[in-house]
Chain A
Amino acid sequence: MEHSVAFETVTMDATFWLAVVIFGVALIAIITEKIHKTVVAIFGASLVLVLKILDQHDAFHLEEYGVDWNVIFLLVGMMIIIGLIRPTGMFEYIAIKSAKLGRGEPIRIMIIFAIITAVLSALLDNVTTVLLLAPVTLLIAEALQIDAVPFLIVEAMASNIGGTATLIGDPPNIMIASKARLSFVDFVIHLTPIVIVIMVVFLVIINLVFRKKLKTRDELKARVMSMRENEAIKDPAMLKKSLFVLALVLIGFTLHGVFHYEPATVALFGAGLLLLISNTSEPHRVLAEVEWPVIFFFIGLFIMVGGLVKVGVIRMMSTEVLNLTEGNLLATSMLIMWFSAVASAVVDNIPYVATMNPLVIDMAREMWPGLSGVELLNHHDLMPIWWSLALGACLGGNGSPIGASANVIVVGMAEKAGHKISFLRFMAYGVPITFVTVFLSMLYVLVRYYLLG
């Protein structure tokens, strides 16, 4: 069925323009932040249904046009797990412990915190990671009487870099994995190596930039050294259960391809198991910790983008991209990577990737009309395009304070603590780092997939 659809000519009728206008107006509303993005997405999606651009069956049950439940349940599952782990104090323990590992030396703490943020962001979501680490960062910076702002910006950027490394690290990767039928291990093989290289370069850069600037006195270091990290642990029994389930979930992710489970199944199992063994009698408290506005933002977006796909807008755009690059896959990869980086710095990378996924799939259909399913989606020559999309969209988030949710959170928390981070101050760090990291990614894709083939 997919193929006959892909080659009909697009009719630019009223429905076509309605879908375009709904999505365009929604995107403007989201960018200008006049209306909350979740409200925009829900209302936009309802319009798509009411105006019959999609019928409800398309939106709720079809993979091609509708809500990607794999993404939704992966997010919900992980949010439940994190919601249960958070009160145990595990993250604060790790942070205080590592500040002491840095012996109270600011630059050492900055580098250790950046590494921890990156690793946690690769395994959990970025927002949670910075939400947990920023308060500890502020505390340590105050104890050492140094400026917390560079630490917070470095953490936001480390979280965006680290999140790029795995399937579950960043929403764009979750969405790409689901649409492109890629496994956790695929991401580990193809993205983790370059993210490690990027992280090393990133650490070298921050070491050069901040080594001289961050100085503190010995008696202030003693304050950090006298903190007892064990005091952060509030619930040792629950902590043990959490670590057990977290380990199980990570093993599940690593093996989900082998056992033919979707990542969402793994996350949901982890959430269910941890809820069960936590003996909670008040699941509503745990479920209240799930970020429902984010979840409904995704649901609304999937439906709006589904509308665009159904009326053929995406197919037109993919044809345009192929015309532009004359079907050259190397050029297409590079175009997608850099365009994604710039686009993700300016708009939320979630709607961006939601739009790009079907575009890449349509492009693949035009290039390899005989193929379908996994053969098409995981076509050897298509893979670098998926990786370019993931790298550009995730790393581009560092470009501005609104480029990624982690940045928004960090700027907000800093302001609440009396450290205002201006748009330009963030960009002074963010733009060069984005450029360097995307440049490294470009070299990686060029060399690994095109020169070495």
Chain B
Amino acid sequence: MLVKDLMEPVGQNWLRPEMELSEAVSLMRKSRQGGDVSVNGMVVLEQGQKLVGVVSIKDIIRAAIPSYMEKNLRGFAWDGMLEEYVKKARKILVSKVMSKSVITIGPADSLMRCADLMIDNYLQRLPVVDESGRVLGMVHIQALYVCIADLMSTLEE
């Protein structure tokens, strides 16, 4: 098997950098991967073409945490603090929270390379990009895990 066999086609699952987080979140909620669960990360494309970043649910959670919450201050939150900050975070632009240094993989690359990249770089997903730089889709870590789990089960028999 190759990367393209595990890949979820990009379809409608992409964000624009100038979107606000509230809009991005509702798109991510509506999205489906493998037909049932919503995705927990999307590519960010400029004019629907150029890959400029990736947004994960972690990036969205991070956007709700104020920059000054450092080690020694973690004990000092009040009831309702998260709600207040989420309200502010709604207007933040996707381009402000996305990770910009995106690691990608090619459709014809091996699954071993895909697994190694994900584990080494703590990635939950890997955009699949062809030679011309066009984004074809995304490999989600669950898909890779299911693939490995299936293999383990069949090899047992």
Q: Which residues of A contact B (CB under 8 A)?
A: 87, 89, 91-92, 96, 134-136, 138-139, 142-143, 223, 226-228, 231-232, 234, 413, 416-418
Contact = CB atoms under 8 A, between A and B. Distances in A.
A232 B78 contact: no
B67 A143 contact: no
Contact of A139 (B68, B71, B84, B88): B68
B78 A226 contact: yes
A291 to B, nearest CB: 18
Given A135-B70, A138-B67, A234-B71, 19 more contacts: A87-B72, A92-B72, A92-B73, A135-B73, A136-B73, A138-B66, A139-B69, A142-B84, A143-B81, A223-B78, A227-B76, A228-B75, A231-B76, A232-B73, A232-B75, A232-B76, A234-B72, A416-B67, A417-B67
Nearest to A224: B78
Interface in B65-119: 66-73, 75-76, 78, 81, 84, 88
B68 A134 contact: yes
Nearest to A92: B72
Contacts of B88: 418
Return the 7 tightest CB-CB contacts between A and B, nearest first: A231-B75, A135-B68, A223-B78, A89-B72, A138-B68, A92-B72, A416-B67
A417 B68 contact: yes
B73 A139 contact: yes
Contacts of A143: 78, 81
Contacts of A138: 66-68
A96 B77 CA distance: 12
A87 B73 CA distance: 11
Contacts of A418: 67, 88
Nearest to B92: A418
A226 to B, nearest CB: 7
**Count class of interface residues, chain B:** 10 to 19
Nearest to A226: B78
Contacts of A417: 66-68
Contacts of A139: 66, 68-69, 73, 76
Interface string B107-144: 00000000000000000000000000000000000000
A87 B76 contact: no
Nearest to A138: B68
B72 A232 contact: yes
Contacts, number: 49
B86 to A, nearest CB: 13
Contacts of A231: 75-76
Contacts of B81: 143
A89 B75 CA distance: 11
A134 B68 CA distance: 8
Contacts of A87: 71-72
A417 B68 CA distance: 7
Interface in B26-77: 66-73, 75-76
B93 to A, nearest CB: 12
A97 to B, nearest CB: 12
A395 to B, nearest CB: 28
B66 A96 contact: no
A92 B72 CA distance: 7
A232 B73 CA distance: 6
A227 B36 CA distance: 43
Contacts of B68: 134-136, 138-139, 413, 416-417
A133 to B, nearest CB: 11
8 contacts: A92-B73, A139-B73, A142-B84, A227-B75, A227-B76, A231-B75, A234-B71, A417-B66
A142 B88 CA distance: 12
Nearest to A227: B76
Q: Which among B69, B73, B76, B84 has the greatest number of chain A C-beta atoms within 10 A?
A: B76
Contacts of B76: 96, 139, 227, 231-232
A227 B74 CA distance: 11
Contacts of B70: 135
Nearest to A137: B68
A149 to B, nearest CB: 14
Nearest to A99: B76
A234 B71 CA distance: 9
A227 B73 CA distance: 11
B95 to A, nearest CB: 15
Given A96-B76, A223-B78, A142 B66 contact: yes
B77 to A, nearest CB: 9
Contacts of B75: 227-228, 231-232
Contacts of B84: 142
A226 B73 CA distance: 14
Interface string B134-156: 00000000000000000000000
Contacts of A227: 75-76, 78
A135 B69 CA distance: 7
Nearest to A96: B76
A413 B78 CA distance: 22
A228 B76 CA distance: 7
A219 B66 CA distance: 21
Contacts of B78: 143, 223, 226-227
A86 B54 CA distance: 35
A135 B72 CA distance: 10
Nearest to B80: A223
B68 to A, nearest CB: 4
